[in-house]
Amino acid sequence: MDLKEKLVSSFLAFEDGLDLDHPVHEERSNAIKNFETKGFPTKKDEAWKYTSLKSLEKVDFSIFPKHETTLEYKDIKKYFLHEIDTYKIVFVDGVYSSYLSETTHDEVDICLMSSAFSKDMFRPVLEVYFNKVASKDESLTSLNTAFSKEGAYIYIPKNKMPKKPIQILHLATGNEAALMLQPRNLIVAEDNAEVQIIERHQSLTGNEVFTNSVTEIFAGRDAIVDYYKVQNDDATASLVDNTYISQKDNSVVRVHTFSFGGKLIRNNLNFYQNGERIDSTLKGVTILSDKQHVDHHTLVHHAQPNCESHQDYKGIFGDSSTGVFNGRIIVDKIAQKTDAFQQNNNILLSDRSTINSKPQLEIFADDVKCSHGCTIGQLDEEALFYLRSRGIPKKEAKALLMYAFANNVLESVRIPELKARINKIIANKLGVRMGFDL
Amino acid sequence: MLEIKNLHASVEDKEILKGIDLKVNAGEVHAIMGPNGSGKSTLAEVIAGQEEFEVGEGSILLDGEDLGELSPEERAHKGVFLSFQYPVEIPGVSVTNFMKTAINESRKAQGLEDMPANEMLKKIREKSEMLEIDRKFLSRSLNEGFSGGEKKRNEIFQMAMMEPKLAILDETDSGLDIDALRIVANGVNKLRGKDNAIIVITHYQRLLEYIVPDFVHVLYNGKIVKSGTKELALELEEKGYDWLKEEAAV
């Protein structure tokens, strides 16, 4: 039985444990039908031309973990940003771990989807927001919607801001030979609310993990949302991250994606601007080695006038790694005075590494500023000699140049401890012991 | 201190240095002059270890040690410094942090601990004041958007920070106006000492009025065709290089 059949046939068993009268349940039923019709995307789909899920479809993934596992905080501490105090929403093999988490209902709701689904008090919010910006058409998103049960639920009411950043951590223990996870996150920042979120997926062993995640983010008028994705997983972990963002007037949403590890990563990051004077920022640093594969597919839909979007993706590809950047920008006819900027710069460190970079601009308004640029090159030999002539060894000099190349993406990280952590991960990834205190 | 013997170097099978002999003692300043394309910058880069050039015959000895097999960074650790003719722009790395990294990497190579932060700051302040470099300048990305003169001044600032045994200044005067030239030359002169040596590569006599050399050499077509004292530079200023070219052709 292939993975698609297994998933579709598991849906009935999955439904058993759910409240079928809940208004969101119809969404699940419709979604499984869509997934059943469409199946997994293949290379024949234009959007999946360079990323194949074929090898994953052959793996016999457990869809529901059989065991519950408890972990000691000290063993997983390093995966947290533990230098600062944060709220934590932690899942172990897809199951919420209250022991490792720190949630709150004090003015804001920082908790989990399963409780939001089961308690009446959250029903009005779910009715307004759940599955409202996520695609009902895209098959992997539908697959996630069908099995949506657990994930992070974050609701920030009007004019509120949580006291500290929120970390969402998905851990896979390796207790299953191969495990499929489908977390579903809902993040709502009402008018003038503000929130900072860090999300990480981490496999703790070499057993195979396939995560198909969906996150919906709603930013009200004047709201500010910072979302940081740390993708530095084990070489046997694959991730498809589908993030959908809906923004209202004057809101600012910044998503930073740091992709340093994992077997296969596909980021589908979609911004929908539903108001004026919106600022959408999409930034990414990708540093790959071995046979790693990362595919960034971004979409910014400018649907109203006077909005901005800033995209800046840097990629460094070593060994036989492959990267994809597909940046789609749609500017509707009424979205005059749009200012859309897109940049994708890449360095290939090896003649076996590959990057496929494609801007995709669809502009229907006539008074807009849209710029895009893409570069693919090697490390500058002259610069390398310059640094080495000052006593910086070759490996460190290369690392410094690579770090400098990615640096302006890091500049906009607003949590200094997170920035320091990312710097450390980059130094590890590049095999140098340097502070990069640039 | 520096002894170059019969040095040959080529790039892509084109021989540029065709047998250079040069001896520089501690405490001396040597000027190397010569027309464009004579191999001056190649000589400077070969001494600093630029791997683009293939060194054939000959050797470069620093305090008796052959630099031939050493990487650029190892040469820097031994006290070789090259002030670049065209300093490279490195966006994303600030001048200050570049210097911190360079100094601490060199210290690491010598088995020393990192320089304490306050000592580093003090040194940066001292040397930047000596070269009349604005503090704001130090937090800017290395050479990015710097004017020609700012780049050269920044090179000498790096030299002051690194305190090299052997400094090679490759056309440090080009791009400098007279005031900047004076400041830079003044900085270089302060770095002169009995334990170090400086090689000044220049087209013009002008710089040598400020940094007075002990010896002047003329490089032409990959060879040193004439050596003398500082008066030779004046003679070159007056007569140009043609008479030497003719002499060399004989």
Amino acid at A254: R
Q: Tens of pLDDT along B61-116? A: 999 999 988 999 999 999 999 999 999 999 888 899 899 999 999 999 999 999 99
- Residue-level pLDDT at B250: 58
Q: Give the number of A-B residue pairs with CB atoms closer than 8 Å.
A: 82
Nearest to A438 among B94, B158, B162 (CB): B94
What's the whole-number mean pLDDT along residues B121-132?
Answer: 93
Strand spans (E) along A274-353: 279-288, 293-302, 308-317, 322-331, 339-348
Please report residues of B whose CB lies closer than 8 A to that of A437: 97, 100
CA–CA dist B34, B235 (Å, integer): 13
Nearest to B101 among A392, A405, A407 (CB): A392
Residue A229: partners with Cβ closer than 8 Å, 6 or more residues away:
A199, A200, A241, A255, A256, A257, A258, A267
**A354 φ/ψ angles, rounded to the nearest 5 degrees:** -135, 145
Q: Tens of pLDDT along A230-263? A: 999 999 999 999 999 999 999 999 999 999 989 9
Q: Tens of pLDDT along B146-195? A: 988 899 999 999 999 999 999 999 999 888 888 889 988 998 999 999 99
A98 reaches B (C-beta below 8 A): no
- Residue-level pLDDT at B245: 76
Q: Tens of pLDDT along B37-74? A: 899 999 999 999 999 999 989 999 999 999 988 999 99
- Residue-level pLDDT at A68: 74
Q: Tens of pLDDT along A417-432? A: 999 999 888 888 887 7
Nearest residue of chain A to residue B51 (CA atoms): A385
Look-up of token digits 């990563």? A265
User: CB–CB of B51 and A385 under 8 A?
Assistant: yes
CA–CA dist B101, B94 (Å, integer): 10
- Residue-level pLDDT at A19: 84
Residue A273 structure tokens: 């601007």
**More confident site: A266 or B183:** A266
CA–CA dist A10, A18 (Å, integer): 13
pLDDT at A438 over 70: no
pLDDT at A40 over 90: yes
Query: How far, CA to CA in Å, does B239 sit from each of A95, A371, A375, B206, B236?
Result: 87, 55, 49, 15, 5
Strands B29-33 and B80-83: unpaired
Q: Tens of pLDDT along A329-342? A: 999 999 999 999 99
Average the pLDDT over each of A49-53, A267-271, B133-137 and give the range with the smallest value.
Answer: B133-137
Q: Tens of pLDDT along A151-162? A: 999 999 999 999
Residue A350: partners with Cβ closer than 8 Å, 6 or more residues away:
A317, A318, A319, A320
Question: Which residues between 139 and 178 in chain B have a beta carbon less than 8 angstroms from any beta carbon of chain A?
Answer: 141, 158, 162
What's the whole-number mean pLDDT along residues A114-124?
Answer: 93
Nearest to B158 among A388, A390, A408 (CB): A390
Nearest residue of chain A to residue B76 (CA atoms): A391
Optimal mutation site among A392, A402, A433, A436, interface B, most CBs of chain B within 10 A: A392
Q: Output b/e per residue, B133-150; b: 16+ Cβ within 10 A.
A: beeebbebbbbeebeebb
Look-up of token digits 């640039």? A438
pLDDT at A4 over 80: yes
Average the pLDDT over each of A31-40, A368-377, B89-98 and give the range with the smallest value.
Answer: B89-98
Nearest residue of chain B to residue A384 (CA atoms): B88
pLDDT at B231 over 80: yes
Strands B2-11 and B223-228: unpaired
Nearest to A386 among B88, B97, B105 (CB): B88
Amino acid at A113: M
SS3 A174: coil
pLDDT at A70 over 90: no
Task: Read off the pLDDT band of A187 (50, 70, 90).
Answer: very high
Q: Output b/e per residue, A180-192; b: 16+ Cβ within 10 A.
A: bbbbbbbbbbbbb
Query: How far, CA to CA in Å, does B140 sit from each of A416, A437, B137, B144?
Result: 20, 14, 5, 8
pLDDT at B237 over 90: no
- Residue-level pLDDT at B234: 86
- Closest CA relative to residue A197, chosen from A173, A225, A221: A225
- Residue-level pLDDT at A408: 80
**A294, A318 contact by CB (below 8 A):** no
CA–CA dist A295, A221 (Å, integer): 31
- Residue-level pLDDT at B246: 77
- Residue-level pLDDT at B204: 82
pLDDT at B14 over 60: yes
